[in-house]
Structures are given as structure tokens and as C-alpha cells.
């Protein structure tokens, strides 16, 4: 497989989404110029749930290095003018997440592409299978439903299956109205 750069045009960049931004509705709020360019696979990382978030009433997804593992997600092309909005929406300016440039295998063209991805600023605890997450690392039921909806919208059934196995804290949408 060769490393390549998709011709994104001047003033654009690629972004790899594995969480809420799999859904076009969330992406349009985060970066109105975002256009879905396909799906990708990030090798050498796994999805994990580490740090609680008050808004989502549980832990949020992040990625952490893990040899032999992979993360599937959506690849979006975004105009540079939306970078600040994307960073704000994803908690970069509040130091919740930080951006990193990674090589993602674009599944439709089977080439490596450079993408920005967001990773939580958190100490990563020991790996625990998703079905056995302790309460402090469990996401809410509502949040996981949103992730699975995004995985299905992005045509990533493998990711939807992974997310379906995650142990949640049981908090549903009604509890978000409090």
C-alpha cells in the first residue's frame, strides 16, 4: 500500500472521525463545510472510554495506541475556515481533546492518507474489554446509541458491532433533560 495525499484542494484538510462526528448532523454543526470522503481504518490504535463528560453523563470515546488493533471511522474533507469551529466543538480549546495528524487507510481507494484526529487529554488506564468497563469509564446509553447511529450512517457495521458491546451506565435520553 502506498502513502498518498488525496487532492483536497487549496485550503482544505482531512479529518478522521470515530465518535459522534460519524454522523453528518454532528459534523455539520462542528464544521459546516464538511464533506464525507469515505471510510478509513487507523491501525495501531483502539477505541476506549477513559474520561467522564458532564454533558454526555458518562465517558466519551477516545483512541489510544494499541499494537495490533485498529479503529474504523469516517473521513471528512473540511475547509480550513472551519478549523476553529471543529476544534471548539470537539473540546480542543477547553483541553479535553488534542489534535494529532495520523495516517489512515482510505478503504475505498486502499491508500494511506493524512488526517487530523482528536484524542482525549487523559491518562490511559490499563486495557479492559468494553463489556467489563468499570463505572467510572462507562458511557451513557444515549451516547452509545448516538455512536452506533453514526457507525451505521457511515456504513461501518464492524464499528457498530464494537460499540454495541460497550457496557454503559444506563443513563438514557430522559436523563439529559434534567
> Is there a domain that residue 44 lies in?
yes
> Is there a domain that residue 105 lies in?
yes
pTM (global) more than 0.85? yes
> Is there a domain that residue 6 lies in?
no
> Is there a domain that residue 176 lies in?
no
Total domains, the chain: 1
Domain that holds residue 35: 12-168
> Is there a domain that residue 145 lies in?
yes
**Chain segment 124-174, per-residue pLDDT in tens:** 878 888 888 999 999 999 999 999 999 999 999 999 999 999 999 998 866
**Alpha carbon 94 to chain centroid, angstroms:** 17
Per the annotation, does 26 bind a ligand? no
> Is there a domain that residue 81 lies in?
yes
- Residue 89: which CATH number? 3.10.490.10
**Chain segment 8-46, per-residue pLDDT in tens:** 678 999 999 999 999 999 999 999 999 999 999 999 999
> Is there a domain that residue 40 lies in?
yes
Per-position b or e across 110-132, b if 16+ CB within 10 A of its CB: ebbbbbbbbbbebeeeeeeebee
Amino acid at each position: 500500500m502506498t502513502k498518498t495525499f488525496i487532492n483536497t484542494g487549496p485550503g482544505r484538510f482531512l479529518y478522521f472521525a470515530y465518535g459522534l462526528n460519524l454522523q453528518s448532523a454532528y459534523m455539520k454543526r462542528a464544521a459546516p463545510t464538511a464533506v464525507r470522503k469515505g471510510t478509513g481504518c487507523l491501525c495501531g490504535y483502539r477505541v476506549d472510554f477513559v474520561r467522564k463528560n458532564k454533558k454526555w453523563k458518562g465517558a466519551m470515546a477516545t483512541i489510544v495506541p494499541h499494537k495490533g488493533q485498529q479503529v474504523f471511522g469516517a473521513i471528512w474533507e473540511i475547509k480550513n475556515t472551519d478549523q476553529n469551529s471543529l476544534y471548539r466543538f470537539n473540546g480542543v480549546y477547553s483541553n479535553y481533546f488534542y489534535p494529532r495528524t495520523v495516517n489512515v487507510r482510505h478503504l475505498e481507494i486502499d491508500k494511506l492518507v493524512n488526517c487530523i484526529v482528536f484524542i482525549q487529554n487523559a491518562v490511559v488506564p490499563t486495557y479492559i474489554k468494553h463489556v467489563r468497563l468499570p463505572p467510572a469509564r462507562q458511557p451513557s446509553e444515549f451516547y452509545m446509541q448516538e455512536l452506533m447511529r453514526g457507525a451505521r450512517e457511515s456504513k461501518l457495521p464492524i464499528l457498530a458491532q464494537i460499540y454495541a458491546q460497550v457496557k454503559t451506565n444506563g443513563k438514557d435520553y430522559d436523563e439529559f433533560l434534567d
